[in-house]
């Protein structure tokens, strides 16, 4: 149904609100504005903008109109401002203040009847009400605000409730409703009216008037309120209120009566009937009716039961376009809803007046479901209802009707879009009580034509998007590669120039030496005698080797071919350290001791300095070898949940001629169905190297599994004359076998697509390895921490385990195994963190210097080299195939293998060389890190070496958190003990005073007033609350493990 002049349904009912159409701002010709010229000079622009903004704010315009006003020229703004000020001056007086109208309304409401008033008095009062209506529409915003502040709305509503019959039927009643409409035209006034708890109900009461203009004004307001968020339900509640007010059988009875009866003048009658129909349509289509089919059918049924359909047929005789438009909308909406309801049951039409047809539909829907027995039970119990025709029987059916209505209408959240037929009847809660364990499965069909078209368009769009992204990525990679190649070329050019200069210098020196007759430092060369020995010049000789280490044998340097000691090798003898000895035996620290080794971090560490700041007595008490009783706490228990996903491949039976293995053909069909491309499109994509991004990487990987084998090709060639009868998989394999070097092309295309992804996976691993290797070597906090651990170990260990100059880093993980003899929850790691907090506070944050260690702990060198080897072999295979394709004389116009792969090889080779260089640097840095810590580089992998540090970082963080929790609990216990001691002391003192003084009543009152009498009870409650809090904390920090039976 088309609305007139492009207006929507909402605009049909917006008669009492602000129009959505924006007023035009028109300019008046100069020859007619002479009288409107401002007499005052125009102020500066800044001051003009300020006063004009105040004027626009008072007008309460929309954003669009405000923008239009501010866009006016400065002269026009000043003219409008002066005009408004002149109007304000002219309107000054008692009638320009809202208090005047409010006082007049109260005075009029005090007169209970108009019979005593003369005609002139009645006209005067009508003039006052009309003046208020005009003022609410035309006066500035401050007038409306003041009217609201002085409770003007309540004054109007009170007047409406106190009117007698004569006033109700007079023009004053209509004007009062007009005042409310005028107030609702203002955003602040509208919010005030809607926020009033009784305003809509009182307005609805005016429907009882016989004055047609009053009815029209009321229905316009109610219809417009239906469009306001939250207003629809207010209107339904107001109609329910009117039903009780007018003592009617249903809430819409008055509307149907006015709609069907003849009221007099044609114009007034059509206006009233049009307004009623617009209100009915607003009630049906707005609020819950916008989305809920059930609500619209439910509410429309009320009107149908009142006989609206014959009335609508009768109203057609008026032949009024506007009225017919509302009648058409009503019938259109009804037909559409009935069609939707019919589709639910799969029928053309549902005859709602036929009980047998509706029962058959319900029976057909439920007969094969679990709900059918409940339907039979409901019908059986309906049969057993009292069958005598009396009021009680009627109420039974009314109750049943209302229960079913609320079951249908109430939302999942328990909200009622209409006035609830039954109070305190929550369907959701009842369903929760009735439904046991069960799942509700809802399936929605998605097979309509528009959805498929949308999906196809979406797929095409995504395909083009992928193509653009691939091209942009390729362009960015090329630009990045060109910049890197340019930089590398400049570096190599500079190196080449320097090498040429050095070569020229050496050549000149060589020629000079060759042309000289005498070698410097030797005798002259004679022509016939033997050549004398020429001593080498002293300047280019390397420095002499270092002397042998002290304590070695004197003939060490004389042994032929004796190799010098390698770097990092242990020295022959280690000097004894001056380590303080504990007075009592201590627990041993299970570490792996290292000998004194040159070139390692341990040569730079002096653990003797640590002993000067350690509290050795406390250390002895904490880690004494003698056992002491302690509290046992259960350990944490972890649960692991294994999630298993089952993939069930689809099976498609092939009926055509097939010579390929059945299982292989079946899997190939599944792949082709997922590709959603024809054989020709796949062939074109392979020849063009997937220029349009039709083949994703995962699909290429699957295609490689279905490359035609030699036996397949032979079988297919035998049946090539039956190509049309071939099964889908057979034909696909046959057509792919016609492509020259199909498998090699496919492998090259797959490698091209995966290359950037594999390089992206490898580079972060190499980077993490480089950064972590530097961090562990350069971290000063880690060096200080190792120094403290070395001091701990040397102090605790005796004999072969003691007097160590270093230890293997794997020993760090064993610190948590050494537990205190005082408290088993305290380990050597906890104790070290306490020492670091007191003596070395900067070391405590050493993890910030090892930020890349966790990532490096995930790098396995073997896997990394395997990935790089895979890249190398793939690049080589692609180059071999490129050489083969270049050697082919015939290449079709579609074949783009050579240009695409040539460009790819150029970029990929350079990128791969960077990866290899980075890997070499990472290996070198990792080897330095291992040698720095005295570790064997041939035995430790990066994930093992850095995994030790990563595990230690985690354990360090957890132990630090444990220390904080223990300190907090200790502080709370001390505070609680002190509080209990204080309360106990005050209680004892109070008992003594009571015994001595006999307990004066005034003292009791004073204690009651001050709250001291509640101290003891308050302390008990605080202790209980604290115990619950501690229990919660402990359960959160150290969950109790369930004992196994």
The 10s digit of each residue's pLDDT in 396-439 is 777 788 788 777 776 666 566 776 555 555 555 555 544 444 44
Please give the residue that has the higher pLDDT: either 207 or 377: 207
Whether 109 shows a pLDDT value over 50: the answer reads yes
Look at residue 125 in the predicted model and tell me its pLDDT. 84
Please give the residue that has the higher pLDDT: either 576 or 540: 576
Look at residue 1002 in the predicted model and tell me its pLDDT. 36
DSSP three-state, residue 570 = strand
105: pLDDT confidence band, cut at 50, 70 and 90?
confident
Whether 645 shows a pLDDT value over 50: the answer reads no
The 10s digit of each residue's pLDDT in 820-834 is 888 888 899 999 999
459: pLDDT confidence band, cut at 50, 70 and 90?
confident
Whether 952 shows a pLDDT value over 80: the answer reads yes
Burial of residue 171 (number of CB atoms within 10 Å: 0-12, 13-18, 19+): middle
121: pLDDT confidence band, cut at 50, 70 and 90?
low
Q: What is the average per-residue pLDDT within 791-810?
A: 85
Q: Six-digit token pair at 181? A: 């409409």
Q: What is the mean pLDDT of the chain?
A: 76
Look at residue 530 in the predicted model and tell me its pLDDT. 41
Burial of residue 180 (number of CB atoms within 10 Å: 0-12, 13-18, 19+): buried
Residues 6+ apart with CB under 8 A from 996: none
Whether 93 shows a pLDDT value over 80: the answer reads no
**188-197, 469-478, 633-642: least confidently modelled range:** 633-642
Distance CA 996, CA 992 (A): 6
DSSP characters over 887-920: H-S---TT--HHHHHHHHHHHHHHHHHHHHHHHH
747: pLDDT confidence band, cut at 50, 70 and 90?
very high
Residue 319 Rama label (left phi>0; alpha psi -120 to 50; beta) = left
Please give the residue that has the higher pLDDT: either 759 or 724: 759
Place of tokens 């809803």: 337
539: pLDDT confidence band, cut at 50, 70 and 90?
very low
Closest Cα to residue 61, out of 80, 78, 41?
Answer: 80
Closest Cα to residue 237, out of 35, 29, 74, 417?
Answer: 417
Secondary structure in 3-state letters for 497-533: HHHHHHHHHHHHHHHHHHHCCCCCCCCCCCCCCCCCC
Distance CA 873, CA 755 (A): 12
Q: What is the average per-residue pLDDT within 304-333?
A: 90
Q: What is the average per-residue pLDDT within 907-923?
A: 91
Residues 6+ apart with CB under 8 A from 788: 607, 610, 832, 835, 836, 840, 843
Do the Cβ atoms of 704 and 742 come closer than 8 Å? no
25: pLDDT confidence band, cut at 50, 70 and 90?
very low
H or E segment to which residue 120 belongs: helix 119-138
265: pLDDT confidence band, cut at 50, 70 and 90?
confident
851: pLDDT confidence band, cut at 50, 70 and 90?
very high
Q: What is the average per-residue pLDDT within 31-48?
A: 59
Domain boundaries, the chain: 45-87, 656-739, 758-964
Buried b vs exposed e over 983-1012: b needs ≥16 C-beta within 10 Å? Answer: beeeeeebeeeeeeeeeeeeeeeeeeeeee
Place of tokens 């035995």: 939
For the CA atoms of 188, 194, 197, 202, the dihedral, rounded to the nearest 10 degrees, stands at 110
Backbone φ, ψ for residue 172 (5° rounding): -60, -40
DSSP three-state, residue 306 = coil
Whether 470 shows a pLDDT value over 80: the answer reads no
Q: What is the average per-residue pLDDT within 328-344?
A: 89
Do the Cβ atoms of 100 and 83 come closer than 8 Å? no
Whether 329 shows a pLDDT value over 70: the answer reads yes
User: 425: which DSSP letter?
Assistant: -
Percent of the chain past pLDDT 90, that is, above it, reads: 20
DSSP three-state, residue 581 = coil
Do the Cβ atoms of 932 and 600 come closer than 8 Å? yes
Whether 286 shows a pLDDT value over 80: the answer reads yes
DSSP three-state, residue 440 = coil
Whether 173 shows a pLDDT value over 50: the answer reads yes
Whether 318 shows a pLDDT value over 50: the answer reads yes
Please give the model's pTM, rounded to 2 decimal places. 0.43
**265-269, 475-479, 633-637, 963-967: least confidently modelled range:** 633-637
DSSP three-state, residue 586 = strand
Whether 526 shows a pLDDT value over 80: the answer reads no
Look at residue 87 in the predicted model and tell me its pLDDT. 62
Distance CA 631, CA 822 (A): 10
**86-90, 537-541, 807-811: least confidently modelled range:** 537-541
Whether 909 shows a pLDDT value over 60: the answer reads yes
Look at residue 612 in the predicted model and tell me its pLDDT. 82
959: pLDDT confidence band, cut at 50, 70 and 90?
very high
Q: What is the average per-residue pLDDT within 256-275?
A: 87
Percent of the chain past pLDDT 70, that is, above it, reads: 75
Look at residue 656 in the predicted model and tell me its pLDDT. 66
Whether 366 shows a pLDDT value over 50: the answer reads yes
DSSP three-state, residue 726 = strand
Look at residue 493 in the predicted model and tell me its pLDDT. 84
Look at residue 1041 in the predicted model and tell me its pLDDT. 36
Look at residue 276 in the predicted model and tell me its pLDDT. 92
Distance CA 979, CA 1023 (A): 10
Look at residue 547 in the predicted model and tell me its pLDDT. 41
The 10s digit of each residue's pLDDT in 731-745 is 899 889 888 899 999
Distance CA 514, CA 786 (A): 61
Distance CA 484, CA 911 (A): 9
Whether 875 shows a pLDDT value over 90: the answer reads yes
Look at residue 522 in the predicted model and tell me its pLDDT. 46
Question: Could you give the residue ranges of the DSSP H alpha helices within 688-741?
Answer: 697-703, 710-718, 728-737
Look at residue 651 in the predicted model and tell me its pLDDT. 44
Please give the residue that has the higher pLDDT: either 919 or 45: 919
Look at residue 872 in the predicted model and tell me its pLDDT. 94
Look at residue 421 in the predicted model and tell me its pLDDT. 57
Look at residue 597 in the predicted model and tell me its pLDDT. 79
953: pLDDT confidence band, cut at 50, 70 and 90?
very high
Q: What is the average per-residue pLDDT within 132-159?
A: 86
The CATH code that applies to domain 656-739 is 1.20.58.630
The 10s digit of each residue's pLDDT in 570-629 is 444 556 778 888 877 777 777 888 888 788 888 888 888 888 888 888 888 888 765 554
995: pLDDT confidence band, cut at 50, 70 and 90?
very low
Look at residue 1039 in the predicted model and tell me its pLDDT. 40
CATH number of 758-964, picked from 3.40.50.2000, 1.10.3720.10, 1.20.58.2220, 3.40.50.300 = 1.20.58.2220
Most confident segment among 368-382, 873-887, 1019-1033: 873-887
**119-123, 283-287, 398-402, 427-431: least confidently modelled range:** 427-431
Backbone φ, ψ for residue 225 (5° rounding): -65, -30
How many CB atoms sit inside 10 A of residue 375's CB? 16
The 10s digit of each residue's pLDDT in 11-20 is 333 333 333 3
Whether 921 shows a pLDDT value over 90: the answer reads yes
Q: Six-digit token pair at 658? A: 């097939």
Please give the residue that has the higher pLDDT: either 890 or 207: 207
Do the Cβ atoms of 949 and 797 come closer than 8 Å? no
Distance CA 440, CA 273 (A): 47
Whether 118 shows a pLDDT value over 70: the answer reads no
Buried b vs exposed e over 130-157: b needs ≥16 C-beta within 10 Å? Answer: bbbbebbeebebebbbebbebebbebbb
Domains 656-739 and 758-964 share a fold: yes
Look at residue 873 in the predicted model and tell me its pLDDT. 94
**92-101, 386-395, 756-765, 984-993: least confidently modelled range:** 984-993
200: pLDDT confidence band, cut at 50, 70 and 90?
very high
Secondary structure in 3-state letters for 453-484: HHHHHHHHHHHHHHHHHHHHHHHHHHHHHHHH
């Amino acid at each position: 149904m088309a609305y007139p002049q492009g207006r929507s349904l909402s605009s049909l009912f917006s008669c009492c609100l602000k129009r959505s159409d924006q007023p035009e701002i028109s300019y008046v010709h100069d020859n007619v504005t002479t009288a409107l010229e401002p007499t005052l000079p125009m102020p500066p622009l800044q001051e003009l903008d300020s006063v004009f903004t105040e004027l626009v704010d008072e007008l309460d315009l929309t954003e669009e109109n405000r923008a239009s006003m501010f866009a006016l020229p400065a002269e026009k703004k000043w003219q409008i401002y002066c005009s408004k000020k002149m109007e304000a001056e002219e309107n000054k007086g008692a009638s320009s203040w809202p208090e005047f109208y409010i006082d007049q309304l109260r005075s009029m409401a005090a007169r209970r009847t108009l019979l005593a008033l003369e005609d002139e008095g009645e006209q005067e009062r009508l003039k006052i009400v009309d003046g208020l209506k005009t003022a609410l529409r035309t006066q500035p915003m401050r007038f409306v605000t003041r009217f609201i502040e002085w409770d003007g709305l309540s004054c109007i509503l009170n007047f409406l409730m106190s009117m007698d019959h004569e006033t109700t039927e007079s023009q004053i009643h209509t004007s009062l409703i007009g005042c409310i409409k005028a107030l609702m035209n203002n955003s602040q006034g509208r919010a005030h009216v809607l926020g009033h708890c009784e305003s809509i109900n009182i307005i609805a009461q005016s429907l009882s008037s016989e004055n047609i203009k009053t009815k029209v004004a009321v229905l316009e307001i109610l219809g417009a309120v239906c469009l306001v968020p939250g207003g629809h339900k207010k209107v339904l509640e107001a109609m329910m209120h009117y039903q009780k007010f007018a003592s009617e059988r249903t809430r819409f009875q008055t509307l149907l009566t006015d709609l069907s009866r003849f009221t007099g003048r044609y114009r007034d009658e059509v206006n009233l009937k049009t307004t009623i129909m617009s209100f009915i349509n607003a009630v049906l289509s707005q609020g819950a009716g916008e989305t809920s089919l059930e609500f619209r059918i439910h509410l429309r049924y009320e009107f149908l039961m009142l006989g609206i359909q014959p009335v609508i047929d009768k109203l057609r005789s008026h032949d009024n376009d506007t009225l017919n438009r509302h009648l058409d909308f009503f019938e259109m909406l009804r037909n559409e809803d009935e069609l939707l309801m019919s589709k639910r049951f799969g029928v053309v039409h549902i005859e709602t007046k036929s009980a047998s047809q509706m029962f058959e539909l319900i029976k057909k829907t439920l007969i094969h479901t679990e709900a059918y027995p409940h339907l039979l039970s409901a019908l059986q119990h309906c049969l057993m209802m009292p069958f005598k025709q009396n009021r009680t029987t009627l109420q039974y059916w009314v109750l049943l009707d209302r229960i079913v209505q609320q079951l249908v209408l109430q939302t999942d959240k328990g909200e009622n879009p209409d006035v609830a037929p039954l109070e305190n009847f929550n369907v959701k809660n009842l369903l929760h009580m009735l439904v046991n364990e069960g799942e509700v499965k809802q399936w929605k069909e998605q097979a309509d034509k528009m959805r498929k078209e949308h999906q196809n368009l979406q797929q095409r769009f995504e395909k083009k998007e992928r193509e653009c992204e691939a091209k942009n990525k390729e362009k960015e990679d090329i630009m990045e590669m060109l910049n890197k190649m340019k930089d590398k070329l400049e570096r190599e050019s500079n190196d080449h120039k320097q090498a040429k200069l050095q070569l020229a210098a050496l050549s000149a020196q060589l020629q000079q030496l060759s042309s000289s007759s005498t070698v410097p430092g030797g005798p002259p060369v004679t022509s016939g005698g033997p050549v004398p020995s020429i001593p080498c010049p002293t300047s280019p000789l390397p420095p002499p080797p270092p002397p042998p280490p002290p304590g070695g044998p004197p003939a060490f340097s004389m042994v032929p071919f004796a190799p010098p000691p390698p770097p990092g090798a242990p020295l022959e003898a280690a000097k004894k350290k001056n380590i303080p000895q504990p007075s009592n035996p201590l627990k041993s620290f299970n570490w792996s001791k290292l000998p004194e080794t040159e070139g390692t971090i341990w040569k730079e560490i002096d653990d003797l300095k640590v002993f000067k700041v350690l509290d050795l007595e406390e250390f002895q008490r904490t880690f004494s070898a003698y056992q002491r009783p302690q509290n046992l706490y259960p350990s944490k228990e972890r649960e692991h949940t294994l999630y298993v996903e089952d993939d069930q491949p689809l099976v498609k039976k092939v009926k055509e001629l097939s010579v390929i293995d059945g299982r292989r053909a079946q899997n190939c069909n599944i792949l082709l169905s997922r590709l959603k491309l024809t054989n020709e499109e796949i062939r074109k994509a392979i020849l063009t190297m997937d220029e349009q991004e039709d083949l994703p990487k995962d699909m290429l990987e699957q295609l490689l599994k279905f490359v035609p084998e030699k036996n397949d090709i032979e079988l297919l060639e035998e049946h090539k004359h039956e190509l049309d009868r071939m099964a889908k998989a057979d034909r696909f394999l046959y057509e792919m076998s016609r492509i020259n070097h199909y498998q090699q092309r496919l492998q090259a295309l797959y490698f091209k697509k995966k290359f950037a992804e594999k390089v992206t996976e490898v580079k972060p691993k190499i980077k993490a390895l480089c950064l972590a290797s530097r961090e562990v070597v350069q971290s000063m906090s880690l060096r200080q921490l190792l120094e403290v651990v070395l001091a701990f170990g040397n102090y605790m260990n005796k004999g072969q385990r003691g007097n160590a100059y270093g230890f293997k880093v794997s020993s760090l993980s064993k610190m948590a195994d050494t537990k205190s003899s005082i408290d088993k929850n305290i380990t050597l790691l906890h104790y070290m963190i306490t020492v670091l907090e007191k003596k070395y506070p900067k070391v405590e944050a050493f993890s910030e210097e090892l930020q890349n260690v966790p990532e490096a702990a995930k790098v396995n060198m073997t896997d990394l080299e395997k990935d790089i080897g895979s890249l190398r072999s793939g690049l080589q295979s692609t180059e071999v195939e490129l050489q083969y394709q270049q050697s082919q004389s015939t290449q079709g116009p579609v074949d783009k293998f050579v240009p695409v792969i040539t460009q790819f090889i150029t970029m990929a080779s350079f990128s791969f060389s960077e990866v290899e260089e980075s890997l070499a640097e990472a290996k070198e840095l990792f080897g330095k890190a291992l040698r720095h810590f005295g570790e064997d580089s041939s035995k430790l992998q990066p994930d093992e070496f850095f995994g030790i540090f990563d595990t230690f970082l985690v354990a360090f963080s957890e132990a630090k958190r444990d220390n904080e929790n223990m300190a907090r609990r200790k502080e709370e216990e001390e505070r609680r003990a002190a509080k209990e001691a204080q309360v106990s002391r005050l209680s004892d003192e109070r008992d003594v005073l009571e015994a001595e003084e006999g307990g004066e009543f005034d003292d009791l009152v004073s204690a009651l007033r001050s709250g001291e009498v509640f101290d003891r009870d308050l302390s008990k409650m605080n202790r209980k609350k604290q115990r619950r809090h501690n229990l919660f904390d402990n359960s959160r920090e150290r969950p109790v493990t369930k004992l196994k039976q």
